[in-house]
Amino acid sequence: MKKAAIISELQREILLLQGFKPANSLVVDKGLGPLKAAFPNASFPLGAVHEFISTDAESMAATSGFMSGLLSILMGKDGILIWISTSRKLFPPALRSFGLFPDRIIFIDAQREKDVIWAMDEALKCGVLTAVVGEIKEIDFTVSRRLQLAVEQSKVTGFILRHNPRALNTTACVSRWRIRPIPSEAIDDLPGIGLPQWKVELLRIRNGQPGIWSIKWMDGKFVSGREWSERSLENTGSAIQKKAG
Amino acid sequence: MQRRYVSIWFPHLITDWFSNRQPYLRDLPFVICAPSHGRMMITAANQAVMKNGITRGMVLADARAILPSLEVLDDKPGLPDKLLLRIAEWCIRFTPGAAADPPDGLLLDVTGCSHLWGGDHRYVEEIGRKLRERGYSIRIAIADTIGAAWAVARFGNSSPVVKTAQHVEALLDLPPEALRLEEPTVERLHKLGLDRISKFIHIPRATLRRRFGNHFLMRLDTACGHETEVLHFVQPIVPYYERLPCLEPIATATGIAIALERLLNALCARLQQDQKGLRTAVFSGYRSDGKVEKLQIETNSPTYSVKHLFRLFENKLPSIEPALGIELFVLEAPKVEDHFPVQEKLWETSGNLDDIRLAELIDRLSVKLGPQTIHRYLPDEHYWPERSYKPAGSLQELTTATWKDDGQRPLQLLPVPERIEVTAPIPDYPPMLFRFHDKVHKVIRADGPERIEQEWWLQQGQHRDYYRVEDEAGNRYWLFRSGHYSDKAHQWFIHGFFP
């Protein structure tokens, strides 16, 4: 028992040396619900770049929904967000239902992917912002390393949304997520569509514990959803766990 | 400071220009003609012709009778104005305030300029010499008022320099034409024997007004300096303007960057002193081959930060082509606004839309990517989804409308709704099946319809009945039917994706 305490204390110190400080506000971690346990020190890594993968329009919507929820927890009432993309389909008014204030978001619609990366690099260096989202399809290790370096100075959190990437190459990002929509639960057995619900896969997290969750967005928080045990899901899940292991 | 004006008169502006272009004309008698009422009228004549008593306004046939060897050239309409404008721009080397004075003169506001050339005499001589070198015959005068300078340039016999406060004395001996009066007034003055300004300058004003009108008095007053006259300069004077002449032409990128930094330092120091910030800045380089290279930047909020402005220019600097070298760098700020320094905060918190660092970031992005790529949105009071938000004009703008957070709108919206095929057997019920991108989706759950009508005052067309549907895999879509179910022409579309 004592030994375990010493080890966890040492682990925490190593994380500090590696630049993973616990988030300074507990509010951030409160909203994370079941996801919290996966992160190092049980707190969401701020001042880092996170990578999200989506494959089709449906999962793109789910990913941006999950991301908006995460961002709204990070931003609170008075954060500023920059959203950079080349072909933006995001519908600003809908962000409000994920707790974001769309008028506190600045959208940059660049022409080329190269410009998105440049703009993201510039924006990540600006300490006023809470977070920067970049819709980048292909990113190589060098670029992701550059973004990571920018972030370490300014403590801004970066999100990269990769829609339909050619290959899942190695990046310097702190985590890699994949989110898919799953059937929603009826609220109090009422007909119609329930709360947004996703299968959240945390494929990789530095110094943390990857995992798969069924998550729904309720009252401005992530909450554990109903166990979604379809066979196909289990299959992909075990495959991923094998890879991660 | 005592104001000083220079008036330059080109008695043979047009003919001088023609003989400059075709030097063989210089000694020949020639006139410029234009057709008028079916005959050729002389519009300008050179010095050699004038000696023979031929003046402008004569008919060409009469002039030919006096001087059979007369050369005739065609007039170019609008030439005098163009020439004067060009010469006025060239005169900016002597004073920033140069104005054309059609039909055949220039007026320069030279207040505080002549001492740079070592006094009025040398200044006027230098201007005269430079213009004569270019082939123009001119008469020039400098005086305290525009009217006096104009009169002495055209009718004065003595020195071209009218000393400070002696302009009225200089006018006394001149004929009334020197006052820029209308033709009938001049004629009447001569008829009355008032052929010198000294003869009527002391007549009571009431008498003069009754006989010659207000215009006459106004001209007299401006010439005497009782009333001020306004010049329309060819190049408006920008109050925030810095120039850096170079001893040798600069052709390297480093050199240009150094020049820019020096100019920015000088300009920003002035702006800071006056508590102003610039919104637009233009950096121009005058090349040795006569071309001008220009860079313009705009900022989202007034600023006088050298570092920030330099970074904005830095991205564009490579687009300057120095060719053989740049001789003169000019930095001007055509648009400035009040900018009061803000107190530096003890510790900086994030999340303020009027934070200077955010404005600087946006400036950098807009310089590189173009201002049209940057958007911020505000809610708008429309139900029609495409119109439910509008672009904001600035980073700080707010509206009274609020964002709706009912979760009824999709997070991803297609820019243009796409056609889908559906199976919808029951009127006004959501579809059972739909096919999108060659994939059949079976609808398990659905909400709707939510009918959104066209705003007829904005656009004509069918209403939309929106359904939120979820298929068996859990994907959520936003579909709509355009038009009534009972209409034969109704169509189904997919418009967005819910998370």
CB–CB contact B474 A184 (8 Å)? yes
Q: In B173-275, where do the E strands start and end? A: 241-250
Which residues have CB under 8 Å from A8's CB, separation 6+?
A: none
CB–CB contact B376 A182 (8 Å)? no
- Picking from B375, B379, B469, the nearest residue to A107 by CB comes out as B375
- E strand or H helix that includes residue A3: helix A2-17
How many angstroms separate the first and last alpha carbons of chain B? 73
| Residue B354 sits at the chain A interface (C-beta within 8 Å) | no
Whole-angstrom Cα distance, residue B424 to residue B428? Answer: 9
Question: Given the structure tokens 């031929």, which residue do they identify?
Answer: B54
Structure tokens that stand for B14 in this block: 């047009």
Given a contact cutoff of 8 angstroms between Cβ atoms, the answer to whether B486 and B470 are in contact is no
Residue-level length of chain A: 245
**pLDDT > 90 in chain A, percent:** 35
Whole-angstrom Cα distance, residue A45 to residue A19? Answer: 10
Whole-angstrom Cα distance, residue B288 to residue B319? Answer: 17
Question: Which residues in chain A touch residue B353, judged by CB atoms under 8 angstroms apart?
Answer: 80, 104
Residue A121: the pLDDT is: 92
- Residue A22 binned pLDDT confidence (cut-offs 50, 70, 90): low
pLDDT at residue B484 is higher than 90: no
| Residue B364 sits at the chain A interface (C-beta within 8 Å) | yes
The mean predicted confidence, pLDDT, of chain A is 83
Q: Side chain identity at B374, as an amino acid letter?
A: I
Angle in degrees, CA A139, A145, A147, rounded to 5? 80
Total beta-carbon pairs less than 8 A apart between chain A and chain B: 182
- Picking from B351, B395, B475, the nearest residue to A58 by CB comes out as B475
- Residue A237 binned pLDDT confidence (cut-offs 50, 70, 90): very low
- Residue A124 binned pLDDT confidence (cut-offs 50, 70, 90): very high
- Picking from B364, B375, B497, the nearest residue to A58 by CB comes out as B497
* Minimum distance, in Å, between the CA of residue A189 and any CA atom of chain B: 12
pLDDT at residue A41 is higher than 80: no
| Residue A218 sits at the chain B interface (C-beta within 8 Å) | no
Q: Is the peptide bond before A210 cis (omega within 30 degrees of 0)?
A: no
pLDDT in tens, B245-275: 888 889 899 999 999 999 999 999 988 888 8
| Residue A200 sits at the chain B interface (C-beta within 8 Å) | no
pLDDT in tens, B290-304: 788 889 988 888 888
pLDDT in tens, B168-188: 888 888 998 898 888 899 999
Residue B458: the pLDDT is: 87
Backbone φ and ψ for B397, nearest 5 degrees, come out as -60, 140
pLDDT at residue A244 is higher than 70: no
H helix runs in B274-327, sequence order? 306-314
Burial of B202 (0-12, 13-18, 19+ CB in 10 A): exposed
- Residue B351 binned pLDDT confidence (cut-offs 50, 70, 90): low
Question: Given the structure tokens 């179910």, which residue do they identify?
Answer: B485
- Residue A8 binned pLDDT confidence (cut-offs 50, 70, 90): confident
Bridge partners of A84, per DSSP, are A108, A134
Question: Given the structure tokens 């096919």, which residue do they identify?
Answer: B435
